[in-house]
Amino acid sequence: MKRKVLISFLVILLILALVGCSPSPEILSCDIVIEGWGQNYYEYSGEWSDLIVFYTITNTGNVDIYYYQIWFKAYCKDGSSYEDWIKGLWVYAGHSETDYTFINVPDKEVVSVEIIDWELTSFTIPL
């Protein structure tokens, strides 16, 4: 009886040791926030400039982001909309990067901007 209890105890310890040593799953995720955006109106020509969008991407996963791509959509006062994208490299796990992009809006006043999609890629070392 003591031998069965001892063997059971050793098996449980082995299982706990193996489970504790297993690597945690890779999580590739982020938060993206539009920090601000702006557009100039040139009174002398009566034209609107391209839109500039400032954003912050925060790596909320546990692996480094090697490559990211973000799609933006700008909505204009006349009801039209325009989409554009930006790509970037290296956002380390737990860190943030702030950047900007321009969206080509052909002489129209923008009233709002949103992020409509994104894609993330982690760096893996081939074995």
In order of their start, the domains of the chain are: 25-122 (2.60.40)
Residue 11: helix, strand or coil by DSSP?
helix
Asked whether residue 7 carries a pLDDT value surpassing 80, the answer given is no
Residue 57 vs residues 28, 47, 78, 83, 124: alpha-carbon distances, Å = 13, 31, 30, 19, 21
Give the predicted TM-score (pTM) of the model: 0.77
124 pLDDT band, cuts 50/70/90, is confident
CA distance 111 to 109: 7
Q: pLDDT digit string (tens) for 10-24?
A: 666 666 555 555 566
